[in-house]
Amino acid sequence: MIRYKCAHCGVELETDDLLSGKQEPCPDCGKVNVVPLSKHDLAKQKTEQKAKQKEKLQQERLREEAEQRKQALDAQHAAEERGRLAKEEQLGMTSTEEALGIIAGIYIILGVLGAVILIGVAAHYEQPLYGLGALMVLATSVLWAVLFFAAQCVLQYLRRITNVIEGGK
């Protein structure tokens, strides 16, 4: 049996445990009261609350561990990136800049070879237009090479500016 007082008129009431947590009208004033929980229901409620708190703490712990793993991974990636940039800085060029230099060199080599071939053909067939073509091939190759070297210089300049802005060398 559950004993409690009417919240409206203060009369002592007594009801069966089965009505624990339910509504029941007061026999004196007729107003509805919520029957307090029985000892069994209170214990059950406390156990459920403890289980929920334990689960919540475990979820928070898991979130914190996941965040720590994420931060560790981010720190590792940042360290790897700094190492890569430091290596590039030691080498003096990035892979893009190296590629531009190689392409420029290839253009010069191909241009010179093309010009030599055309000059040889011009000499063999005694055609002055072949000589003019050779000069055009050479000039075009040199122009492309200059453009790639200029792009390489611009990239190096931008990298140096970025380092100064970021507080580097």
CA-based nearest residue to 121, from 34, 113, 21, 57: 113
Mean pLDDT of 144-154: 81
Q: Which amino acid is at 6?
A: C
Please tell me the predicted confidence (pLDDT) of residue 31: 92
Q: Between 90 and 115, where is the model more confident?
A: 115
Over residues 122-136, the pLDDT tens digits come to 777 777 776 677 778
pTM: 0.35
pLDDT at 93 over 80: no
pLDDT at 168 over 60: no
CA-based nearest residue to 151, from 104, 87, 90: 104
